[in-house]
Chains A and B, each alone.
Chain A
Amino acid sequence: MDFYLNLINTIGIHTMLGLSAYLLLQTGQLSLAQAGFFAVGSYTAAILTVIFQWNIIPSVLVAMLVSGFLAFLVGFPALRVKGLMLVVATIAFSEFVRMFFYNLKWRVTRNGEEIGPDGTMGFAEIRYFSDNGWSNFEVTLFLWSFVILIMGVIWWSDQSRTGAVLRAVGEDELAASSVGINLTVVKVSAMTAGGFIAGISGGLYAHQVTSLDHHSFTVLLGTFAIAYPILGGLSNVFGTLVAVIFIQGLLVEGLRFLGDWRMILFGLLIVLAMNFKPLGLFDKQTMDLIKKAIRV
C-alpha cells in the first residue's frame, strides 16, 4: 500500500512541476530553470521546518514566494533571449543553483543532534511528517489538495482571457504585440507563476522524500518538467497529468521488471510518441476525437 501511495505522491509532485513548465510553454518560453526553482523551493521549505521549526503550510508558502521572486528576477534577462538560446541560458541558471546548494553548509545543534544542510552530504533530517504523526494517507491527501488546487486555477485561466493572452504570445509575438498585448508583462508574469508552482512542488517534495541531495536537481529534472507538458500537449492541463502518469507510473515503475534495460525502451517509447504526435498526445486532433466521442 505504501508503495502505491508513494507512487501517487511522486505523480502529484511531478504534475505540479510539469504544470509550472506548462504555463511557460504556453507563452513560447522553453525553460529548463524549473529544476532550479524546484531546488530553491525544497531547500527553503526544509530549512524553515527543520531549523526554524515552522509549521509546514507557512513554510511551503514562503518557499513559493522565494522561488517566485527568483523567477521574477530571472524573467527579465530571459526576455532578451528566445527559443533555444533561452534553453541554454536556463540550464546555466539551474546548474548555478545546484552548485550553490552543493556548497551550502548550515549546521545547527538542536536537542543534542546536529541538523541542517550539509554541503555535499545533502540534507537528511527533514522528518516533519513523521515527527507530527501524519499517516502516509494524510500526506497524500495534503499533497494532492495542492495539486488539485493548482490544476483548477490553471484550468480556469485556460478558459478565460488570461489563457488566450498567454497562447497569443506563444503563437506569434509580433501579432500579439500588434494587438496591444504587453509582452514584457505577460512573459515575466508567466515566469513568476511558474516559479510559484515549482516552489510549492519543491517544498512538498522535500518533506515527502525526507532527504535532499543536489543530484536530484540536475538538468534531467528540468527536462522532465518540460517533457510532461510537451508529451501531453498544450491544449489542457489533463494532458500533463496523463503524461506524468504515463512516464512515472507506466514507464518508470511499470517497466521495472525489465531491470537495467528499462531506460532503453523508455527512450524509444517517448521518441515514438514524439514522432507520431509532435504536438503532444492531447493535441487538437485528439481533443476533437474525444469531444466527438462524448457527444455520441
Chain B
Amino acid sequence: MFTEFLQNCIDGLMIGSGYSLLALGFTMVFGVMKRINLSYGPSIMLGAYFGTWLYLNLEQNAWLVLLGTIFGTVVVGIYVERLCFRAIKSDSTIASMVSSFVIWMQLEEIAMHLLPERTYPFPAFFAAKTIEFGPFYVRSEHLTMFILMLIIVLILHFFLYQTRQGLAIRALSDNPMASLYIGINRSKTLFLSFFLVSLLGGIAGFFILSTDSQITPFFGLWATFKGLIAMMLGGMGSLPGAIIGGLLLGIVEANVFWYGDPILRDISAYLLLFVMLVLRPGGIFGQSIVLRQRLAQERV
C-alpha cells in the first residue's frame, strides 16, 4: 500500500520534471515582461514538428531531431517575440496576450501544413528500459528527463546568478524602472531572455515528446496548460516556484491517475489550481506580491 504510494510519487516526480521545464519558460517570460506568452506551447509544438519533418525526410537520427526541434522552437520564439511583444507597447498586457493567442492558431495551422496527419512517431535516444531500485521501478527515459531537468536548472542558476547578462535579466524583472536608469538595454535583454526560454522549450519539448514517443497537434495546448498551471502553483515569476509547482502537479496527477479515474487526471490539475488560488492566491513562492497589494488596499 505504502510502496504503491511511493511508486506513484516517484512516477509523479519524473513526469513532473517535464512540467517544471515548461513552467520555467513561462515564469521567465512573465518575470521580465509581466506578460504571458500563450503561444509558448504551440511554438515548441511547431519546433518539434520541424524536427519530425527532418526525421521523416532526411535522416533517421535522434540527434538531428533534437537539433531541429531546438532550432525550430528558437526561430518561432523570435517570430512570436517580434510580433506580439516587441511591437506592442509595454502597458498593453492584454493586447499582447490576445496577439499571442492568435499566433497560436497560426502556428497550429502551419504545423498541419507541414505534416498533415494527426499523429507522428517521435524518436528517443535509446530504447525504453525499466530500471529497478529495490521495490521501485523507474523508466529510463523518465530518469533521463529528471536528470536533465536538474542539469538545466543548475546551468540556468549559474547563468542568472554568475553572469552579467543574467544580472541584467534579474534586474529587469525585479524593477523595470530602476534597471532602465542604470543603463540596461531593455529590448536586448528581453530578446536574450526570449531566446533562452525558446532554447529551454526546445530541449524540454524534445524530451517530453520522446517519452510519449508520438507527436500530435494537441501538444501545443497541452504544453501551455501544464506549464501555466505549474507556474501558477509555484508562484508567478519565481524560478524555484516553477520547479516545485511542476513536481507537485506531477505527483498529484500520478496519484489521482492510480487511485481514481483516468478522466479525473486532467480535472485534478484544474481543481488543485483552484484550491491553491483560493487558499494562497500567490502560489507557493509568490505570496509576498499578493500581501504587498493587500497591505496597500488596507492602507486606503
Question: Could you list which residues of chain A lie within 8 angstroms of chain B, going by C-beta atoms?
Answer: 25, 30, 77, 80-85, 87-89, 91-93, 95-96, 99, 103, 173-174, 177-178, 219-220, 223, 226-227, 230-231, 260-261, 263-264, 266-268, 270-271, 274-275, 278-279
Contact B99 A271, beta carbon cutoff 8 Å? yes
| List of B residues within 8 angstroms of A81 by Cβ | 277, 281
Beta-carbon nearest neighbor of B35 in chain A = A84
Given the complex of chains A and B, what is the CA–CA distance between A274 and B94 in angstroms?
10
14 additional contacts (CB under 8 A) given A274-B98, A275-B87: A77-B277, A80-B278, A83-B93, A85-B236, A89-B232, A93-B270, A95-B270, A177-B297, A223-B101, A230-B95, A231-B98, A266-B102, A267-B102, A274-B88
Whole-angstrom CA separation of A30 from B35 in the bound complex: 13
A85 partner, pick from B83, B88, B95, B281, beta carbons under 8 A: B281
Decide yes or no whether B182 CB sits under 8 A from chain A: no
Q: Kindly state the separation between the CA atoms of A274 and B101 in the bound complex, as whole angstroms.
A: 12
Question: B113 — nearest CB in chain A belongs to which residue?
Answer: A260
| Partner among B112, B225, B273 whose Cβ is within 8 Å of the Cβ of A260 | B112
Chain B stretch 66-116: residues in CB contact (< 8 A) with chain A: 83-84, 87-89, 92-99, 101-103, 105-106, 108-110, 112-113
| Interchain CA distance A133-B99 in the complex, whole Å | 43
Residues of A within 8 A of B270 (CB): 92-93, 95-96
Complex A-B: 27 CB contacts under 8 Å: A30-B94, A77-B274, A80-B277, A80-B278, A80-B281, A81-B277, A87-B36, A88-B229, A89-B232, A91-B228, A92-B273, A95-B225, A95-B266, A99-B263, A103-B263, A174-B297, A178-B300, A220-B105, A227-B102, A230-B94, A230-B98, A263-B109, A270-B99, A274-B95, A274-B96, A278-B89, A279-B95
Question: Considering only CB atoms, which chain B residue lies closest to A223 in the complex?
Answer: B101
B30 within 8 A of A: yes
For the complex, would chain B's binding face be called helix, strand, loop or mixed by DSSP majority? helix
Q: Is B127 positioned at the interface, with any CB of A under 8 Å from its CB?
A: no
Cβ contact within 8 Å between A270 and B98? yes
| Count: A-B pairs, CB below 8 Å | 115
B296 proximal to A (CB < 8 A)? yes
B131 at the interface (CB under 8 A from A): no
Interface size, chain B (Cβ < 8 Å): 46
Q: Across the interface, do A278 and B88 meet the contact criterion of CB distance under 8 Å? A: yes
Q: Which residues of A contact B35 (CB under 8 A)?
A: 84
Question: With A77-B274, A80-B281, A85-B281 given, is the CB distance from A279 to B92 under 8 Å?
Answer: yes
Asked whether A87 lies within 8 Å of B274 as measured between CB atoms, the reply is no
Give chain B residues whose Cβ lies under 8 Å from the Cβ of A271: 83-84, 99, 102-103
Q: How far is the CA of A19 from the CA of B88 in the complex (A)?
A: 25
Assuming A87-B97, A223-B101, A274-B95, is B106 touching A263 (CB within 8 A)? yes
A89 close to B277 (CB less than 8 A): yes
Q: Given A92-B273, A96-B270, is A264 in contact with B109 using a C-beta cutoff of 8 Å?
A: yes
Contact partners of B221 in chain A: CB under 8 A: 219
Complex Cα distance, B281 from A85, in Å, reads: 8
Chain B: CB-nearest residue to A176: B300
Give the top 5 A-B pairs by smallest Cβ distance, nearest first: A267-B106, A278-B92, A92-B270, A278-B95, A263-B109
Q: B267 contacts the other chain (Cβ, under 8 Å)? A: yes
Residue of A nearest to B34 (CB): A84
* Alpha-carbon distance between A219 and B274 when the two chains are bound, in angstroms: 17
Distance of A174 Cα from B293 Cα, bound (Å)? 10
**How far does the Cβ of A188 sit from chain B's closest Cβ, in whole Å?**
15
CA distance A81 to B96 in the complex (A): 20
Query: Of the candidates A174, A261, A270, which one forms a contact with B102 in the assembled complex, judged by CB atoms under 8 Å apart?
Result: A270
Determine how close the nearest CB of chain B comes to the CB of A229; give it in whole angstroms.
Answer: 10
Bound together, the chains give a CA A270 to CA B98 distance in angstroms of: 9
Q: Is the CB of B300 within 8 A of A174?
A: yes
Residues on A with beta carbons closer than 8 Å to the beta carbon of B267? 96, 99
B228 and A99 form a contact (CB under 8 A): no
Question: Residues of B contacting A92 with CB < 8 Å?
Answer: 229, 270, 273-274
Nearest-CB residue, chain B, relative to A179: B300
- Hey, which chain B residues are within 8 Å of A230, CB to CB? 94-95, 98
Given A87-B36, A230-B95, A266-B105, check contact A275 B88 (CB 8 Å). yes
B109 neighbours in A (Cβ, 8 Å): 260-261, 263-264, 267
Q: Mark B126-162, 1 if CB is under 8 A from A, else 0.
A: 0000000000000000000000000000000000000
Whether the Cβ atoms of A177 and B274 lie closer than 8 Å is no
CA distance A37 to B173 in the complex (A): 36
Among B35, B94, B274, B297, the one with the most A-chain Cβ atoms within 10 Å of its Cβ is B94
A30–B93 Cα gap in the complex (Å)?
11
Q: Closest chain B residue to A103 by CB distance? A: B263
Residue of A nearest to B296 (CB): A174
* A93 CB, min distance to chain B CBs, angstroms: 7
